Amino acid sequence: MAVEEKENQTKAQIDEQTDVPVEENVSTEDFPNELRLPVWSVVSFEKCEAGGLTYTEAEQKLSELEAQKVSGLCIVTDEVAARIAGKN
């Protein structure tokens, strides 16, 4: 029964998030500035490959790792990377 309750909580959280208009969540004026902040990480299937990068630096790191045939690469915020690392 605990699994079913957890699924219902997750569904409720998703419903709450989708009810909020996008305009209230993201400021289009701030978005380009966020890309310049050193808050981005590159993660792979294995680990967090690099963190504390600007988005441009993260793109460069991702390209370098792709050339080295590292699998499962993705650019995420440092906050998300920390959550991923905490689960491993």
Taking only the tens place, the pLDDT of each residue in 28-69 is 566 668 999 999 999 999 999 999 999 999 999 999 999 999
- Band of pLDDT at residue 27, cut at 50, 70 and 90: low
Instruction: Report the DSSP beta bridge partners of residue 76.
Output: 41
- CA distance to 46, 69, 80, per residue, from 50 (Å): 12, 16, 13
Structure tokens at 5: 């309750």
Residue-range domain boundaries for the chain: 39-88
- Band of pLDDT at residue 9, cut at 50, 70 and 90: low
pLDDT tens digits along 76-87: 999 999 998 887
CA gap 35, 28 in Å, rounded:
12
Q: Is the pTM of this model over 0.75?
A: no
* DSSP assigned state of 29: T
Per-residue confidence (pLDDT) for residue 74, from 0 to 100: 97
